[in-house]
Structure formats: structure tokens, C-alpha cells
Amino acid sequence: MNQVQPVAEIEILELLQAGDDKTLKVIYRQNYQTVVSFIINNGGTLQEAKDTYQETLIVFCEKLKQDGFELNCSIKTFLYSIGRRLWLKQLKRKSRFTTEELNDSEDYLPFEEDKTDEREEQFYAMNQALEQLGEPCRSILKDFYINGHSMEEITQKFGYTNADNAKNQKYKCLKRLKKSFFEVFNNGLVTNEEF
């Protein structure tokens, strides 16, 4: 990867880091073909390619926000590398992975397991854990911990007679969530292997 990063891209990165959606849109459009074609050329359907590309952008945005983030290649190469890694992971999950070489159209960075991977597993585990909870638990926890509603709002919304009842319910729900979250999170690799 001896590419020198174009000066203009540094500005683009700064705009992206500042959360400029217009720039993100441009980046999205510019790199769509490269990543999507890569996936289609390596055994993916258009839908899979699209999903993986969107996931790629999510990972990209998350990486931008990490402390000390530094880009030593072009944005295109970077996105291609993320997309490539995600697709490899997906192929492994599907065990469609063959020893055959992937058809690469671009240079790419070899990624190691890093912080973003952990975030991916974390998201997956939280999603599974919330999915496994029944109602009203899921809504109560989402309202409180994710949507930032107050206990008073929750008491009213779910029709509890007083805040203490609601708190007690929330406590029980959190206990169950905690259990299934850590179950999935700690066995992350096992669940991935299954499919």
C-alpha cells in the first residue's frame, strides 16, 4: 500500500468526521460499484452485496470516530478492504468459502481483529438478547436505556400504578437481558459457526 493519500481526501475525511451527511452520500455513491461488484464477483447476490456494502459504511463511520484514527490509503481502498473483510466473514459463516482465491479488483489492507470487530459482536449479541426478551421487557429496556425515557414516562406508558412497580419490573427485565446478552456475547464465535 504505497499509495499517497490525495490531499482532497483529508478534507473529505474531516467533513465526514464532523458528521456531514452530504459528503457521506457522495462517498456512498462513489464506492458502491467497486464494493458491490467485488461481492457479486465472489459468489454474492445483489441483495447480499447491497447489505454488505451498507454494513461496510457503518463500520467505516464507526472507525472514523475512533480515537487516533488515521488513514494511510485512499478512502476507496479502505472501503474496499472493509467490504472485503465483511464478505469473507459472511462466506465463512455460510461455509461457502472455498480455498479458491478471491477475485480482487483493487488493492486492499489486510485487517486484523480489532475494536470494530468487538463492536460488531456486541451489536449482534444485544440484538439477539433483546429479540429473546418478551414484551413488555424489551420495550421497557429499550425505552429506558436506548431511547432515554425517564422512569416516570415509562410508568405512565406501561400503566404501572407507581414508579416503584415499574422500577421493579425494569430490574427483573435487565437481569434477564444481562444473562442472555453475556451468553451470546461470550459464545459469539460458536453462534457464528452454526450458520
Partner 1 sequence: MKNSREIDEIIERYCFEELTPEELRIFEQWLESDPQMAASVNDFLSLKNAFENYRERLALRKKIESIHEEVEFDLFNTPTPLKVVKSGNSTKFLFGKERSYLSIAAAVSIFILSAVSLSLWMFGNGSSKNQNAYRELRREVEKIKKNQKEIIKGINAGDSKEDRSQFTGTGFAITKDGYVLTSYHVIQDAKEIYISNESVGQLQAEVVYSDKSLDLAMLKVKEDSFPGFKEIPFAFKKSISDPGEKVFTLGFPREDLVFGDGSISSYTGFEGDTTAYQISIPVNPGNSGGPLFDNQGNLIGIISGKNESAEGASFAVKSKWINDYINSKSNASIFLPTNKLLVGVDRATQIKRLKDVVLMVRVFN
CA–CA distance, 34 with 36 (Å, rounded to integer): 6
Per CB under 8 A, 63 contacts partner 1:
no
The CA–CA distances, whole Å, from 157 to 130, 139, 147, 154 equal 19, 10, 14, 5
Residue type (1 letter), 36: V
Q: Where are the alpha helices (DSSP H) in the chain?
A: 7-17, 21-40, 46-65, 75-93, 115-132, 137-141, 151-157, 163-186, 188-194
Per CB under 8 A, 150 contacts partner 1:
no
Binding segment (CB under 8 A) for partner 1, from list 3-11, 69-77, 79-87, 135-143: 135-143
Binding segment (CB under 8 A) for partner 1, from list 1-9, 68-76, 79-87, 163-171: 163-171
Task: By CB under 8 A, name the one of 35, 39, 57, 154 that touches partner 1.
Answer: 57
The CA–CA distances, whole Å, from 66 to 22, 44, 106, 162 equal 21, 30, 25, 42
Where do we find the cell 485487517? 111
Nearest distance, CB of residue 112 and partner 1, angstroms: 20
The residues binding partner 1 (CB under 8 A) are 21, 24-25, 28-29, 32-33, 36-37, 40-41, 45, 47-48, 50, 54, 57-58, 61-62, 94-96, 103-105, 119, 122-123, 125-127, 130-132, 134-135, 138-139, 142-143, 145-147, 167-168, 171, 174-175, 177-178, 181-182, 185, 195
